[in-house]
Structure 1
Amino acid sequence: MTSKSGEDWGTALSHLVLGVVSLHAAVCTAQASRGAAAGFLLQAVSSATMLVPGLGTDEDCLAGAWVATVISLPLLAFDFHWMNGDRSSANLLLGGGMVLAVAGDHLGSEGRSVAGQAVVLVVSVTILIVAVFTANTYGMWGGAMLGAAGLLSRLEEDRLLLLPKEDICRWALAAGSWAYCRALHIQHLQWE
């Protein structure tokens, strides 16, 4: 029983940390980047809803978390690309996320899982590419951490480093979100 209770606390803590980091990032980026702030806010709300007892297993809540993933991450990447003049990639990422969000009911649970992981990987790779070309170190770290979360979610194992795989993915997303918030701040300062 202690092991299950410890896992519940670890899962709740990972949701809480991701929610707090995302909310802080939303507040910090609201003036400079409204799209990214909305993406961070969606991550925070999605993570917070998973903390409500009994709601984290509800099908509507899980579908909402998936929609938040396919919309929030493209919103984060949108401003990063837009500020660097890559408007076609920005629009393509955001439009693709919106289409996936609308088409979610037709994909089934496995299709949503694959599409969500693909969104995480595509967003992280595009952020990483832009960050390398603009020499934005925080952007590189943010893209790498988002990519790590996407790759870890594809692993077959349920546990990594003695922790549930989903918890480690949330920790990586929290670290990536923090680094990405810093990257947006630096990019905004350079843009002014």
Structure 2
Amino acid sequence: MVSKFRSEWSTVLSHLVLAAVSLHAASSRGAAAGFLLQTFAAITMLAPGLSTHEDCLAGAWVATVIGLPLLAFDFHWVNGDRSSANLLLGGGMVLAVAGDHLGPEGCSVAGQAVLLVVAVTILIVAVFTANTYGMWGGAMLGVAGLLSRLEVDRLLLLPKEDVCRWALAAGSWAYCRALHTQRLQWE
């Protein structure tokens, strides 16, 4: 009984924190669309009975394959790396359209691949620009992607998906700070 109660609260709290962090980040200047997609996906997963609904899962898919590349797009664009920015966003758009043809396992692998590619590219740019928040953001996004590939149901006494959302929320917060720091350096 206590384990089920803890699991339900953990799920609700991880969705709320991810939504709050993303909404706060969206209110800042850059990458608002990517953060808003994450916010809406996290909030819709909280609606009773919707977390397994096909439209809700499609929303989470779009938030992953378009929202995360939008975040990386802004990071690359501000640094003048227009080709990488466009490549990431274009790849996300193609995956969003192709999602119906991939099947559940293909969508899972593609979503995790997008998360890891975004994390690695953010980490590379952050290292070269000495942006500490970007390094932490890229690392946390990478942790979320790697944890989602584990073949276990629970991590740290919580459901694996909740731990991944906590890592994604921490990565989003650090990434928001990285964008702010980056913009201050360029102004």
Sort the TM-score into its range (normalised by shorter chain): over 0.9
CA offsets 1:31-75 (integer angstroms, 9 cap, x no match): xx2xx1110010001000001110111122112111111000000
Q: Note the alpha carbon deviations across 1:15-42, whole angstroms, 9 max, x for none.
A: 000000000000023xxx2xx1110010
Deviant stretches of 4+, over 4 Å: none
d(CA) in 1 for partners of 2:6 and 2:133?
33
Aligned residue among 89, 96, 107 for 1:112: 107
Residue 138, structure 1, aligned to residue 160, structure 2: no
Picking from 60, 73, 84, the partner of 1:78 is 73
Gaps in structure 1 of 5+ consecutive residues:
none
- In 1, distance between residues paired with 2:2 and 2:126? 44
Distance between the aligned counterparts of 2:174 and 2:62, measured in 1? 23
Instruction: Give the Cα–Cα distance (whole angstroms) in 2 for the partners of residues 52 and 158 of structure 1.
Output: 22
TM-score when normalising by structure 2? 0.98
Whether 2:117 is the aligned partner of 1:151: answer no
Structure 1 residue 171 corresponds to structure 2 residue 166: yes
TM-superposition CA deviations, 1:63-97 (whole Å, max 9, x none): 21111110000000001001111111000000000
What residue number does 1:7 align with?
Answer: 7
Q: Within 2, Cα distance between the matches of 1:3 and 1:161?
A: 13
Gaps of 5+ in 2: none
Q: Which residue of 1 aligns with 2:94?
A: 99
SS at match of 2:28: helix
Report what 1:38 is aligned to.
33
Equivalences, count: 187
Identity of aligned residues (%): 83
The structure 2 residue matched to 1:52, chosen from 35, 44, 47, is 47
C-alpha deviation, 1:2, in angstroms: 3.1
Please give the root-mean-square deviation of Cα atoms over the aligned residues, in Å: 0.7
1:111 Cα offset (Å): 0.4
Instruction: Give, in whole Å, the separation in 2 of the partners of 1:190 and 1:13.
Output: 34
